[in-house]
């Protein structure tokens, strides 16, 4: 009877564990000791990807093309004798897809503010491999420490509107481990909110004056019409 296969060893022989789209990688699977012929099967998340037979002691080489996010993840291989049940599994190798960040969106719950008010700004890139690092700017000057998000959620900063100079243009930028890619957001401006504490009394006063004029005009009409009516008699 042939010797039982041992747990095979899965090794990355070409490429990197952090991969970009359309990148080729090669995995080597070999069981030692073991008597050939041996069948090697490559799995991704328990689904068979490929299978190779070896009649000698050379390793099985599997070349993959990472063409989408679904191609990344955990891989294992299995070694078994041909036409036999059972077999042994290897260690796992995990590929992480590096996707460039998309253009971030800079937003705020309010677009109007007044002096002495606290406001928030949120910066969010919908796409891109994690983690993503965000940095906020006013004009060309950064206004906060960089924020690295391990989850796909917006980076948020809090601002205090202290003077009219705080009503400039704000932007943010986003980048991740994808090489040499940085994306900038749209510009965002706060507009100065009208101070209702002064405008409301003025509006009320103007309304009262208008109402008094209408009442006075209504009372004055009979005074003009009565003499005209008597004169016509």
Q: Backbone phi, then psi, for 103, in 5-degree steps? A: -60, 125
Q: Which of 64-68, 128-132, 222-226, 229-233 has the lowest mean pLDDT?
A: 229-233
Residues 6+ apart with CB under 8 A from 44: 71, 73, 74, 75
Compute the average pLDDT of residues 115-123. Answer: 93
pLDDT band at 155 (very low <50, low <70, confident <90, very high): very high
Q: What's the CATH number for 105-192?
A: 2.60.40.10
| pLDDT of 227 | 67
**Res. 180: pLDDT tops 60:** yes
* 67 vs 224: which has the higher pLDDT: 67
**Mean pLDDT, rounded, for 125-154:** 94
| pLDDT for position 215 | 83
Structure confidence at residue 60 (pLDDT): 95
Go through the chain and tell me how many residues it has. Answer: 233
Mapped onto helix, strand or coil, the DSSP state of residue 130 is coil
d(CA 132, CA 155): 9
Mean pLDDT of the chain: 87
- What is the architecture, at CATH level 2, of domain 9-97? Sandwich (2.60)
Q: Does 122 or 180 have the greater pLDDT score? A: 122
Cα–Cα separations (whole angstroms), residue 121 to 56, 155, 233? 63, 8, 77
Per-residue pLDDT at 13: 97
Q: What per-residue string of b and e applies to 52-91 under the rule 16 or more CB within 10 Å gives b?
A: eebeeeebbebebebeeeebbeebbbbbbbeeeeebeebe
Question: How many C-beta neighbours within 10 Å does residue 51 have?
Answer: 15
- Spell out the domain ranges in the chain: 9-97, 105-192
* Equal fold, 9-97 vs 105-192: yes
């Amino acid at each position: 009877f042939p010797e039982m296969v041992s747990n095979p060893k899965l090794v990355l022989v070409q490429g990197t564990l952090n991969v970009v789209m359309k990148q080729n990688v090669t995995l080597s699977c070999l069981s030692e000791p073991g008597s050939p012929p041996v069948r090697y099967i490559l799995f991704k998340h328990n689904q068979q990807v490929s299978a190779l037979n070896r009649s000698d002691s050379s390793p099985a080489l599997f070349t993959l093309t990472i063409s989408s996010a679904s191609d990344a993840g955990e891989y294992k291989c299995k070694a078994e004798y041909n036409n036999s049940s059972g077999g042994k599994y290897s260690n796992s190798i995990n590929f992480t897809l590096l996707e460039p960040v998309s253009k971030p969106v800079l937003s705020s719950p309010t677009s109007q503010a007044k002096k002495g008010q606290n406001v928030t700004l949120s910066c969010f890139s919908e796409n891109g491999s994690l983690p993503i690092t965000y940095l906020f700017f006013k004009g060309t000057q950064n206004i906060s420490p960089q924020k690295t998000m391990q989850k796909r959620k917006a980076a948020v900063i809090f601002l205090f509107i202290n003077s009219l100079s705080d009503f400039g243009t704000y932007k943010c930028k986003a980048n991740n481990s994808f090489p040499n890619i940085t994306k900038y957001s749209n510009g965002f401006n706060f507009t100065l909110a009208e101070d209702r504490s002064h405008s409301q009394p003025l509006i009320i006063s103007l309304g009262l004056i208008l109402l008094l004029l209408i009442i006075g005009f209504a009372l004055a009409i009979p005074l003009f019409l009565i003499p005209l009516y008597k004169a016509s008699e």
